[in-house]
Amino acid sequence: MSDVKHTVMEKISRGDLTMRPRWHFVVASSVAMFALFLLAFWLVYLESLIIFFMQGTGVAYVPVFGVHGVLVFLYSLPWLLVLLTAIFVYVIQRVMHRYAFCYSRPMVLSIVALIGFSMLGALMLAKSELHYTVLERVKERPVLGMVYRQYGLKPHQEVHIGTIGSTTNAGFILESRTGEIYQVLVSDRTRSPRERLELGETVLILGAHDAGTIEARGIKRFEVRHIQHRLQRDDRPLPLPLTVPIEINP
Amino acid sequence: MREETDEAVARRVQAGDADAFGILIERYETRLKRYGWRFLNTKEDIEDMVQDVFIKAYTNIHSFNANRRFSPWIYRIAHNEFVNALRKQSRYPQSFFDPDTILPQLVAKETTDGERLDAELKEAIEASLETLAPKYRAPLVLYFYEEMSYQDIANVLKIPTATVGVRIKRAKEKLQKAYNQIAP
């Protein structure tokens, strides 16, 4: 009998070496699965929160206005939440790596699959009323309230949402959801919907504003649902007189 | 009479037949020592390490799924033990991301038995094994010396099967380069 066999078998017969019971592994495996489930839930929640903020502030839609829109989109991403999401993806990938379905495939595939599936869940969650409800409940609270206030209530300074109040020679008057009035200047360079805009329609506008005047780079119809329950800073200036005409159905 | 499979023996151990574990030690002691010598490039402490492998295997025998193959499972424990030994000696490079496992690789086909190395060539390779990084050495040793399939090696090393083929191919190229430098 070899030394190794002799030593190990003697330890077993003396009772120095005992098997861990099956339930030990069942519990360990269950805990790992539960941890994975929790991490996945928080990943979906974080991603849906990012979508919610981007949709709520209108920033999610500005890339359709070209390079400048894409830059505004990238600048406005809640990078802290994006970083947190990346950390969650990494941790989940590491936890899943113990299972053959994960390690037997290239890491990039499992990460893409993880992001893909979680984004599907996030899109569904972002469509639900969850974040509106949470926002209403936590907006005065320190940590979560700060996150919602920080990202959800402060749109990019070039992104404006409001309803078309009246038409002018130069464009139209925009009434923001909190009652500020803007003069929107529309030119040939403005990217706008093919169909005519109607008075009273809610629109998203990309354009720098100065002393109450917005030079529109792009105009897009905006679903009213996105701005429900939202609050807005009340620091926007009054509009100036208009000069250029715009085609809008009265 | 056909020999009882490793999995059947492991099932007996799980059922409480502790003596049956001796059969598994007999079957794997030499193989694991051999893998350790080649992977670590030393015979020092190998016996103690292999003993620890069997202790861990016995302690955790209920985590073994007897519907799967026993060999990759025990080699996995041994590989972890040997990697930990390398880490203690700071001979195992740490990396968060391994490019070989991140991106999809072209599926490297497993060679046929005829292409396995003959004894003379095995000895020549063994002399140059220490020039290889551990991540190339492990699949090469498991494939050519332990005669494992790519799938089993993938389960031991927890890497994609295609990566096993890529690493073996690169290991051979590196060995060839080292050999050419010694004997131009």
Chain A residue numbers with beta carbons less than 8 Å from the beta carbon of B161 are 104
Instruction: Note the pLDDT of residue A233.
Output: 38
Task: Note the pLDDT tens digit of each residue in B116-134.
Answer: 566 666 777 777 788 888 8
CB proximity B26 to A under 8 Å = yes
pLDDT given for residue B42 in this prediction: 79
Highest mean pLDDT among A145-154, B33-42, B93-102: B33-42
Question: Is A141 in the same domain as A220?
Answer: no
Same domain, A26 and A124: yes
Q: Same domain, yes or no, for A51 and A172?
A: no
| pLDDT at residue number A151 | 66
Asked if residue A153 is part of any domain, the answer here is no
The residue among A148, A171, A199 that closes a domain is A148
> Does residue A107 lie within any of the structural domains?
yes
Whether A69 is in a domain gets the answer yes
- Give the one of A9, A17, A103 whose C-beta lies nearest to B159's C-beta: A103
Q: Where does the pLDDT of residue B78 fall: very low under 50, low under 70, confident under 90, or very high at 90 and above?
A: very high
More confident residue, A1 or B150: B150
Residues A107, A169: one domain?
Answer: no
A107 and A229 housed in the same domain: no
Residue A76 lies in a domain: yes
Note whether residue A44 is domain-resident: yes
In a domain, A88, yes or no: yes
Most B CBs within 10 A among A19, A96, A108, hence the mutation to make, goes to A19
User: Is A52 within the bounds of a domain?
Assistant: yes
Q: What pLDDT shows up at residue B153?
A: 95
Best A7, A8, A27, A89 residue to mutate vs chain B (most B CBs within 10 Å) = A8
Task: Give me the helix-helix angle, B134-144 and B20-40, nearest 10°.
Answer: 130
Q: Looking at beta carbons, which residues of chain A come within 8 Å of B159?
A: 103
This prediction's pTM: 0.76
Let me know whether A127 and A239 are in one domain: no
Q: Are residues A65 and A124 in the same domain?
A: yes
Per-residue pLDDT of A89-115, as tens digits, reads 999 998 898 888 888 888 889 999 999
Q: What is the mean pLDDT of residues A128-149?
A: 77
Plot region of B153 (φ>0 → left; ψ -120 to 50 → alpha; else → beta): alpha
- Mean pLDDT for A39-44 is 95
Q: Same domain, yes or no, for A170 and A94?
A: no
CA nearest to B54 within chain A = A8
pLDDT number for residue B94 = 66
Is the pLDDT score of B88 beyond 50?
yes
**Domain end position, chosen among A148, A170, A203:** A148
pLDDT at B92: 67
| Percent of residues, chain B, with pLDDT higher than 70 | 81
Same domain, residue pair A176 and A227: yes
| ipTM for this model | 0.81
Domain count, chain A: 2
Give dist(CA A71, CA A242) in Å, integer.
29
Identify from B11, B52, B59, B106 which residue to disrupt to test chain A contact, counting A C-beta atoms within 10 A and taking the largest count: B59
CA distance A8 to chain B (A): 7
Closest of B159, B174, B39, B169 to residue B100, by C-alpha? B159
Strands A171-176 and A181-185 turn out to be antiparallel
Given a cut of 90, whether residue B75 has pLDDT beyond it is: yes
Domain that holds residue A188: 159-246
B105/A106 CB distance under 8 A: yes
Span B111-115, average pLDDT: 53
The Cα A227–Cα A233 span in angstroms is 14
Q: Of A148, A172, A189, which residue constitutes the final position of a domain?
A: A148
Cβ distance A63 to A69 under 8 Å?
A: yes
A199 with A242, same domain: the answer is yes
Same domain, A144 and A165: no
Q: What is the mean pLDDT of residues B72-97?
A: 84
Helix, strand and coil content of chain B, in percent to the nearest 5, comes to: 70, 0, 30
Do A119 and A192 lie in one domain? The reply is no
Does the residue A154 lie in any domain? Answer: no
Q: Are strands A213-215 and A209-210 parallel, antiparallel or unpaired?
A: antiparallel
CATH classification at residue A173: 2.40.50.140
Does the beta-carbon distance from A5 to B159 stay under 8 Å? Answer: no
